[in-house]
Amino acid sequence: MTKIDSITVDIIENALKNSKNEMDVTLFKAAMSPVIREQHDCFPMITDAEGNMVVGNFGSHVPEVVKQFPEGVQEGDVIFVSDPYTSGGSVSHVNDWMIILPIFYESTLVGYSSMFGHVIDVGGPVPSSMPVDARSIYGEGVRFPPVKLFAKDVLNEAVIAIIKANSRTPLENYSDLMALVASCRTAEKRVQEICSRFGIETYFAAMNAALERTNLMMRDLITKILPTEPVSFEDFIDDDGLGNGPFKMKLTIWREDDHAYFDWTGTDPQSPGPINYYLSEPMFKMFIGSFLISAFDPDINFNDGFYDVLHVISPKGTLMNPEFPAALGCRTHALSRMFDVLSGALSVNAPDSSPAAGYGTSPYFIFSGVDAKGDKFNLMEVQYGGLPGRPIGDGLDGHSWWPAFVNIPTEYLETYYPLIVDSYKTGTDSGGAGFYRGGNCNEKLYTILADGIVSIHDDRALIQPWGINGGEPGSCSSKTLIKQDGKRIHLASKIDDVKVEKGDQILFITAGSGGWGDPLDRPAGKVQSDVRRGLVSKEKALKSYGVYLNDYLELDEKQTEAIRAKIKVDRGTLESFNFGERKEQVHA
């Protein structure tokens, strides 16, 4: 085995990280769908020759896919897949298209590059291919099992023909697919350059060292933060869009020496509707590692080196491990809520060291129709919400769960789609009160400029994001159709085929997030600043924080001190978790 020093490992590891970033840039410049091009709903990865992720934003899915090609892979091959079930959960719904490209140097396989992105439409009964009333994956659009898009550099034209024939957005899909390929070819070129500079043996040794370093650091982290006695936590998804719910997600965690165990036993059976999440064991290990590293030790390089110290139990036929052909199109509610459950389980014994709950989903606004020029349009926009208060500071307002995701600029939306964004702001008082305030939600008001159809995907419309360590819960989400005559129509959080007319408005409000710590301990000057910035109302400042501000928003310290003292006496002991109140389902 080639010996290698830590400096060389750092140089090669950082070169690969830069290559991963270049993959993103290539994709953003070449893709056409705004959800990829503008919002960055994509995940790059570079692996070693065995398919272990060395750098990336997602866990490695390469071995599960590549083994389905008994003839193996050759130079010039490019693999394409969009089916969760035949790829072992490598992608989680059929809108996610994934490319895997084997990288060769001097005829030797040295690794793989991979990228997946969310394409706008893959067929099915509704625009954007995520029907909220789907009862099986057969009703969610065209899915591709692993297939060679290129075989020894020869394009499989039949795959392209199928793609174009089964989408409402054939041009965008084709462009996105080729952009994914270009992204992977960028990494291929960079890896070959690294191998040319250092040699294959040194390159292999550096990747092994990077994986081993992450393994050792993760073992140390596990022993510091996980309990030796099992602890459990539960949270709920509101409903499945078909009138069923709420759905419980239960997780039990513990450690044995420096190995961690995660058990989903007690989670509800799979849903009749499309909120199921086919969470393969490797993918869940990736999510666990991502969360632990981000929350507790960001210095650890995120790669597959820690997989052997994580152990997952996920009973078949449940929400987190559904059996084929369960519908999966709206799985982001379970995906995002998983982090709330994981955070809750980690905080049962130490609520002062973990964040509260966030908006807990991936809200979608989908608008399609024909514009004044007679051109078809299909917009799918990902919305964001409040990120939770945490031991180190306030939660982020109107932010994505995934750090790299961003919003579609208003100028882009208004240029390419028949709508006006009348306002786009954070929702006052939507973040739970706390020593560290929960992040506020997004409130977005659209005016529709062409008749069309709207679909909405969201959650936490009934069940609040919980507060922790004395913090209050965040606000629920809501959606309203405002007709031209001023009539306001409540919309369910999961709904398709909402007919809108030119001049109508849609008010899209996401959920906030929970606060961390006793609100009465938050410095009064910070509360005053929150009020002046429109993040907290004067009324909530008084009710939740005990801070008295006059009509000019000036702080009265004596009254504040007296009010806080009275609130402390009247309220009694604070609970570690504040789950708020569960709303009843409101029908349109």
Q: Among residues of the chain, what percentage have pLDDT more than 90?
A: 87
For the stretch 534-543, contacts whose Cβ atoms lie closer than 8 Å and that sit 24 or more positions apart, written own/partner, are 534/425, 534/426, 534/428, 535/397, 535/426, 535/428, 535/431, 535/437, 535/440, 536/428, 536/429, 536/433, 536/437, 537/428, 537/429, 540/429, 540/433
Q: Considering only residues 228 and 403, tell me which one the structure prediction assigns the higher pLDDT.
A: 228
Assess whether pLDDT exceeds 80 at residue 5. yes
Of 231, 225, 150, 170, whose CA–CA distance to 32 is shortest? 170
Give pLDDT tens digits for 416-459.
999 999 999 999 999 999 999 999 999 999 999 999 999 999 99
Distance CA 504, CA 514 (A): 33
User: Are the C-beta atoms of 11 and 19 separated by less than 8 Å?
Assistant: no
In the three-class reduction of DSSP (H, G, I as helix; E, B as strand; rest coil), residue 288 is classed as: helix
Residue 502 has which token pair? 């030119």
| pLDDT score at 588 | 41
From 158, 64, 177, select the one nearest 120 (Cα to Cα).
Answer: 177
CA 21 to chain CA centroid, Å, is: 19
For residues 555 and 548, give the distance between their C-alpha atoms in angstroms, rounded to a whole number: 6
Contact call for residues 346 and 507 (beta carbons, < 8 A): no
Tell me, what's the pLDDT at 585? 58
119, containing H or E segment? none
- List all residues 6 or more positions away from 159 whose beta carbon is below 8 Å from its beta carbon: 80, 144, 147, 149
- Write the pLDDT tens digit of every residue in 155-208: 999 999 999 999 999 999 999 999 999 999 999 999 999 999 999 999 999 999
pLDDT at position 168 is 96
Q: How far apart are CA 101 and CA 98, in angstroms?
A: 10
Residue among 418, 407, 409 at smallest CA distance from 378: 418
* CA pair distance 139, 175, nearest whole angstrom: 25
Distance in angstroms (rounded) separating the CA atoms of residues 102 and 300: 26
Q: Which of 326, 332, 317, 271 is CA-nearest to residue 137?
A: 326
Assess whether pLDDT exceeds 80 at residue 60. no
- Would you state the pLDDT for residue 584? 63
Strand partners, 448: 419
pLDDT mean across residues, the chain: 94
Tell me the pLDDT tens digit for each residue of 309-356: 999 999 999 999 999 999 999 999 999 999 999 999 999 988 888 899
pLDDT at 499 over 50: yes
Residue predicted with more confidence, 543 or 352:
543
Burial 157-168 (b: 16+ CB within 10 A, else e): eebbeebeebbb
Listed range (147-151, 283-287, 433-437, 492-496) with the worst mean pLDDT: 283-287
Helix (H, G, I), strand (E, B) or coil at 502: coil
Amino acid at 442: N
Q: Please name the helix (run of DSSP H) or strand (run of DSSP E) that holds residue 112, with its range, or none.
A: strand 108-118
Looking at residue 587, its pLDDT comes to 40
For residue 85, give the nearest of 307, 222, 279, 310 by alpha carbon: 279
Among left, alpha and beta (phi > 0; psi -120 to 50; other), residue 497 is left
Amino acid (1-letter code) at residue 263: D
Q: How far apart are CA 169 and CA 260, in angstroms?
A: 44
Q: Identify the three-state secondary structure at position 303.
A: coil
> To the nearest 5 percent, what fractions of the chain are helix, strand and coil?
30, 25, 45
Q: Is residue 272 reached through a cis peptide bond, with omega within 30 degrees of 0 on the bond before it?
A: no
Higher pLDDT, 116 or 586: 116
- Give the pLDDT confidence score for residue 1 in this predicted structure: 60
Q: Is 287 exposed, middle or buried (0-12, 13-18, 19+ CB in 10 A)?
A: middle
Among residues 28, 80, 89, which one has the least CA distance to residue 287? 89
When pLDDT is cut at 50, 70 and 90, the band that residue 586 belongs to is very low
Q: Using CA atoms, how far apart are residues 181 and 92, in angstroms rounded to an integer?
A: 20
pLDDT value of residue 581: 85
Mean pLDDT in residue range 124-143 = 96
Tokens matching residue 269: 């059976």
Sheet holding 310-313, edge to edge: 231-237, 247-256, 259-263, 310-313
- Whole-angstrom Cα distance, residue 307 to residue 242? 37
- Please report the sign of the dihedral spanned by the C-alpha atoms of residue 532, residue 535, residue 541, residue 547: negative
Query: If phi over 0 gives left and psi between -120 and 50 gives alpha, with beta otherwise, what is residue 380?
Result: beta
Rounded CA separation 68/147 (Å): 9
Q: Is 563 helix (H, G, I), strand (E, B) or coil?
A: helix
Model confidence pLDDT, tens digit, residues 246-294: 999 999 999 999 999 999 999 999 999 999 999 888 888 888 888 888 8
What's the pLDDT band for 89 if we cut at 50, 70, 90? Answer: confident
Q: Rounded to whole angstroms, how far apart are CA atoms 445 and 181?
A: 36
Rounded to an integer, what distance in angstroms lies between the CA atom of residue 214 and that of residue 299? Answer: 10
pTM for this predicted structure: 0.93
Rg of the chain in Å (alpha carbons):
25
